[in-house]
Amino acid sequence: MRFKYRNVSVGKGGITMKNHPSVISGLLDKYVSYRKAHGGIGISACANLSSFNSLCHKYYPGAKELSDEMVTKWCAKRETETILSRNARVVVMRSFLRYTNKYNLTALRLPTSLRKRRPDRIFVSDRDLPSSVVSDLLNKYMSYKKASNAMGDSSLEYLRFFNDYCATHHQDATTITENIINGWCDKRITESSESHNKRISPIRSFLRYANGRGWTDVRLPEFLPWSKKQYTPYPFRPEQLQAFFKITDSFKDTKHVSDKVAKIRKIEIPVFYRLLYSTGMRTMEARLLKSGDVDLKNGVINVSQSKGLDQHRIALHQTMWDLLIRYDEAMAALMPDRNYFFPNEYDEPYNRLWESYNFVRMWRLVSNDYARCYDFRSHYAVKNINNWRYTGPEWFDKLLYLSRSMGHRNISSTCYYYQLAPLFAEQLEELTAEEYHKLLPDLTNYFSNEDTI
């Protein structure tokens, strides 16, 4: 079967340029034959190659070889062309040049894709609330929480949903009543008790704050009984970790992205996950890390964006310290004066799904077992505990250091990891008897306690 498009014909023998032979005709024949042998080539790609061939014939009739000037001229955005359409042409050209460069037929630069300038965005956390009976009080409450770095993304989202509900269903209300609160907080038909409790927890915190200041006098909605299934963090094996980090070193995006984005992610991915593994940082803490928070001169990270008021410092291991220095130099070449230590292409922090999405993609190449990116934090704690010597009272000093390094508000949160440490849990329980259980975190207060493990 033979396809025809203007002056190009694609058949079993490859691509044949009609009437417009040029310096690239032979290269195109080789390229299309290669593509046909490795999955085929589409009509639109042939049309763009034909267009490039025509340009070379028209403007460079006597040329003996393909040049950067020819590529640049053809890839220039046309007056009536959208950026999307122009980039689609460039994808074809990049693929063609990768082939010719690979087989030493040319040695040319690959053209880059154009990007629309991203408009200045107003983050959800900074957007004005729609006017409602509760909006003014919510603004005061959220300002208070933000000032103390105690406003999580999910809490902010639920408070905004609550305000939207009030603005839509109680437009004429002048006072917050239990009927309004219950209208939002009552359990929904398709909602589990756990999901319900998570949804109303930010409302309870808000009402507790408002009632305490005399702004409201409303009874707090009650949590529903539920049975928490305690998750056991995945126990990474050394060979699994070695395989995982090897995959991070060869990370590639599955979707087409610009050269700049590809370079940024190729540099960031291996370092980001190694930092989680090496320091036990919360994933949120690593994502929101500012460049100014990383003291590469002294090897110390100041974690300022954490849960609640739990700011803390982390002393880097020499290996991780050296890696961060090399990483920072590489990123400085791509994004001078960046604000975030692990920024996206707009110098903004990645969203909370970014690290889990990429972790799952790479972990599936290692194992079919279920594991989370957050399990690096548990692994860090357990590995430290298992390396301790348990003679004398110095174990409590080490426990305290570990607790502060991990940013725990209460030492009981750190004691949770003793349950996961096989070399120590039985010894600790034997030494302290019932006192051991008193140290463990009270998981019944899971929803109201912001200091999760």
CA nearest to 341, candidates 306, 300, 290, 266? 290
pLDDT tens-digit map of 199-252: 999 999 999 999 999 999 999 999 888 766 666 788 888 899 999 999 998 887
* Domain presence at residue 113: no
Residues 383 and 433 in one domain: yes
Residues 242 and 354 in one domain: yes
* Domain presence at residue 451: no
Residues 165 and 248 in one domain: no
The long-range contacts involving 323-329, CB below 8 angstroms and separated by at least 24 positions, are 323/271, 323/274, 324/271, 324/275, 324/294, 324/296, 325/296, 327/267, 327/268, 327/271, 328/291, 328/294, 328/296
Phi, psi of 257 (to 5 degrees): -135, 165
CB 150 within 8 A of CB 132: no
Backbone Cα Rg of the chain = 29
Sheet holding 312-315, edge to edge: 294-295, 300-303, 312-315
pLDDT of residue 213: 92
* Domain presence at residue 199: yes
Residues 244 and 203 in one domain: no
Phi, psi of 342 (to 5 degrees): -120, 75
Count of domains observed in the chain? 4
Residues 387 and 348 in one domain: no
* Domain presence at residue 122: no
Q: Which residues have C-beta within 8 Å of that of residue 36, sequence separation ≥ 6? A: 14
Q: Give the sign of the dihedral formed by CA 354, CA 358, CA 361, CA 364.
A: negative
Residues 95 and 190 in one domain: no
Residues 203 and 307 in one domain: no
CATH assignment at residue 264:
1.10.443.10
* Domain presence at residue 274: yes
Percent of the chain with pLDDT over 70: 72
Last residue of a domain, one of 335, 363, 391: 363
pLDDT at 316 over 90: no
Query: What range does the domain containing 135 cover?
Result: 131-212
CA dihedral 326, 329, 333, 335 (to 10 degrees): 100
pTM over 0.75: no
Residues 326 and 256 in one domain: yes
pLDDT of residue 367: 93
Residue with tokens 């994004």: 335
Sheet holding 8-11, edge to edge: 3-5, 8-11, 14-17
Residues 253 and 327 in one domain: yes
Residue with tokens 């894709």: 113
For residues 116 and 445, the model is more confident at 116
Residues 50 and 141 in one domain: no
CA 313 to chain CA centroid, Å, is 22
Residues 204 and 251 in one domain: no
CA gap 10, 2 in Å, rounded: 6
